Amino acid sequence: MVRQFAIVGTLILGSLLMTGCSKEPVKLQSAQIVASLDKGSGNFDRVLMICFDKPLSSDYYHKVTILTKESVKVEGEGTLRPLASDPDNKCQLRNVYTYINKDSPIGARELIKDYVVPGNISQILVQVYNQKPEGKERPISERVFKNL
């Protein structure tokens, strides 16, 4: 009898997890580099603003590739979370310097400061996933923004 309850409980829990974990689809609206948010610290002088059709209600994973007119390439990824302090905001602000990683070129911070500026962006590729991709999963939303 205890074993039957355990099996039924596991089945119920499994079905709840499968149906309760679905995330709302997201639609990318815009992406742009913003250089006017920094108030003198120098840490937020290059920010990527990613906007969706509605505010995020769940955590998502994203990958970004920024390409400047001089072919400077910045690639990065990370988690996008709902904004607790501004839940109605459709836009996410990401510090471009946080995309620097072990695969970035030497002097990546200086390259970002000199070249990743509004008006000098050839294209920005944004890919959004339900969770961090393990292999060759396709993004749930993907868009290229040009001539920014």
Neighbours of 83 (CB within 10 A): 15
* 50 neighbors 62 (Cβ within 8 angstroms): yes
H or E stretch at 97 = none
Reported confidence tier of residue 46, pLDDT bands at 50, 70, 90: very high
Segments making up each domain of the chain, as ranges: 23-146
DSSP annotation of 46: S
Residues 124-137: tens digit of each pLDDT: 999 999 999 998 89
Number of C-alpha atoms within 13 angstroms, CB side, residue 144?
Answer: 5
pLDDT tens per residue, range 104-125: 888 999 999 999 999 999 999 9
81: nearest Cα among 26, 9, 146: 26
Asked if residue 123 lies in contact with residue 48, where contact means CB atoms within 8 angstroms, the answer is no
Which two tokens mark 28? 């990318």
CATH number for the domain whose boundaries are 23-146: 2.60.40
Amino acid residing at 104:
S
